[in-house]
Amino acid sequence: MELSLNKSLNNVVKTSEAKTLANERVILLKEIEKVKGELQKAYTNFDYVNDSLMVDYYTYQIKAYETMFEFLIKKAKAMGINEL
């Protein structure tokens, strides 16, 4: 009886962990898409800016989004996500 209860409990824990991992994967993929969109927006804005201060602003913004994108891609690969 106790062995059966332990098996049932282990199955519940494994199912819960699998759901949590799947949820984390979805959140990470959404975050990657968000950063990708923000990066594209920054590139577009950079193309149309005339003021030298704004050129600096978008240059730093692009670098920040590129760094975040690289971080998220590494994190995704570490989680075994290959559909990027």
As a whole number of angstroms, the distance between CA 53 and CA 42 comes to 14
Choose the weakest-confidence range: 7-16, 25-34, 46-55.
7-16
81: left (phi over 0), alpha (psi -120 to 50) or beta: beta
**Cβ–Cβ under 8 Å, residues 28 and 81:** yes
The pLDDT value recorded for residue 18 is 80
Query: Any idea where the domains of the chain sit in the sequence?
Result: 1-79
Give residue 54's pLDDT: 97
Rounded to 5°, angle at Cα 34 from 40 and 62:
40
Q: What is the DSSP string of 58-69?
A: HHHHHHHHHHHH
Between 48 and 11, residue with greater pLDDT = 48
| pLDDT per residue as tens digits for the range 31-77 | 999 999 999 999 999 999 999 999 999 999 999 999 999 999 999 99
What's the predicted TM-score (pTM) here? 0.77
